[in-house]
Structures are given as C-alpha cells and as structure tokens.
Structure 1
C-alpha cells in the first residue's frame, strides 16, 4: 500500500512539473474590444485600446467587423502615411503573432486609415513580463486561448501518473 501511495505522489509531481513547463497560456485579443475593427470615434482609439496590453509571440489578434473593411499588415512608413499595402484579411479573422517587435495594421478602404482605423503594437518574445490585461470583450473559450500543446502535455502527464501508480 505504501508503494502505491508513493507512486501516486510521484505521478502527481510529474503532472505538476510537465504542466508548469509546457503550458504557457496565450491570449486572443478582440481588436478594439466591443467596438471591433471599424472606423473609430477618434483617431487615437486603437492606440488607447492597445496601451494597457502586453502582446507576446503566440498571442492572437481577432479582427471582427461588419460593413466594408479589411486588414493589412504595413511597414512603419506605410502605417504613418496610410499607404495601402497588400491585404491580409478581406473578411474578419484571427492573426497569430509569430514574431517579436513592432507590428502595424491598417484598413485600406477609402479614408478609414486617416480616420484612425489603424493599430500599432509591440510584440514581446515571451510573457515573462507583466501579464496581459484582457480586452473589454468577454474572454474567448479556453480552446481559443490556450495552446493545444497544454492539452497534449496534460494527457501525457495523466497517462504517466496512471502508469506509475499501477506499476508500483
């Protein structure tokens, strides 16, 4: 009996170690919060929206809109001058942040960019900095905001724990 209890304790320890090492949560940000991706009420709206957020590689931006809009990733010069780069999305979608550094997005429709429909963010390499502040919109379901590898690691850890438990 004592060896079974020790096996269960070891299995639980393995589970804790694997989950703490492999499972950093990622965040999906609804760009613009409840307003979404539209021509904003003022030209600083998206800058203010992004100001209290910490974006990291692996996070995602969800661009949602109704009406006529698009999203293009731009260079800094294109962003500053509202020049029209290649379209990234012509319909609502989610963009995963895969590189660190500054990123620039804008709407290429009409005068939307000059009216403030543009977003500048800075992406960090990891979330070892201050935790992200979620947007004003409701959080996405866990399947959208937590990496799939967390679930694989949890399954592996549980299987390992059961193996250790029954082999003891």
Structure 2
C-alpha cells in the first residue's frame, strides 16, 4: 500500500515539474526580421507582444553596428553607457517591463537605430 502512495506522489511531482517547464518556455525573435538590427527597427518591436524571458536575436554586420543595453535616460539621450554586444550575432533575454537597446557606433542611435521592447 505504501508503495502505491509513494508512486502516486512521485507522479504528481513529475506532472507539476512538467507544467512549470511549459510555463517558463520562451520565444526567440530575430530583431528586424530579415532586415536585422538596422535603421528604422524601432517600429518592429511596437507590433509584438513579448514576455519576460523571451530572447531577442540581434543580427548585423560585425563592426558596422553594435548593441548597447541601456537604461531609459541613456536611451532617450543616445548615451552608449551600458553592456555592449558586438559579435553581430547577439542574444538578449528580456526582463519584465521596458528593455532599451541602442547602437553605440557613431551617430547611429541619433539616426534611429534604437529600440524599446516591453516584456509582460
């Protein structure tokens, strides 16, 4: 009898862990779709619904652009102060709330290479 109870508890634990795994699954998005991380990309994020944990994949020619993860003030002022990614093939997991990205090369941010992604 005790063996059946232990087995039933074990099955319940497995089912709970399986459900938790499903609920934390993430989606991946290539920023800018086929155009990639380039000028005019800010509107790309406006038509998508992101969840915390979703991955943004930044694709761009290495050395031509970069991705700087910034706060709101640095986003608004195009200050490239934050974590800089520059491989041309970068991925970032979104945190809950607004996430801000700019290109820190030359005047690219001032020319529109910046994006806000809001994760729910």
TM-score, length basis structure 2 = 0.76
User: Corresponding residue for 1:77?
Assistant: 73
> Where does the alignment leave 5 or more consecutive residues of structure 1 unmatched?
1-9, 125-168
Q: Which runs of 4+ in 1 moved over 2 A?
A: 13-22
Distance in 2 of aligned mates of 1:47 and 1:70 = 15
1:74-109 alpha-carbon deviations (Å, 9 max, x no partner): 111111111121342011211112x21111100000
Distance in 2 of aligned mates of 1:47 and 1:64 = 15
Larger Rg: 1
Matched, 1:94 2:91: yes
User: Corresponding residue for 1:36?
Assistant: 36
Q: Does the 8 Å CA contact 2:69/2:102 hold for their aligned counterparts? A: yes
TM-score, length basis structure 1 = 0.56
Higher relative contact order (CA 8 A, sep 6+): 1
Q: Does the 8 Å CA contact 1:70/1:87 hold for their aligned counterparts? A: no
User: Corresponding residue for 2:27?
Assistant: 27
Matched, 1:107 2:93: no
Question: What are the equivalent positions in structure 2 for 1:1-168 lying under 5 Å apart?
Answer: 19-24=18-23, 25-38=25-38, 40=39, 45-67=40-62, 68-91=64-87, 92-97=89-94, 99-124=95-120
Structure number with higher helix proportion: 1
- The 3 A distance-change label for structure 1 pair 86 and 20 is closer
Q: Does the 8 Å CA contact 2:70/2:83 hold for their aligned counterparts? A: no
> Where does the alignment leave 5 or more consecutive residues of structure 2 unmatched?
1-7
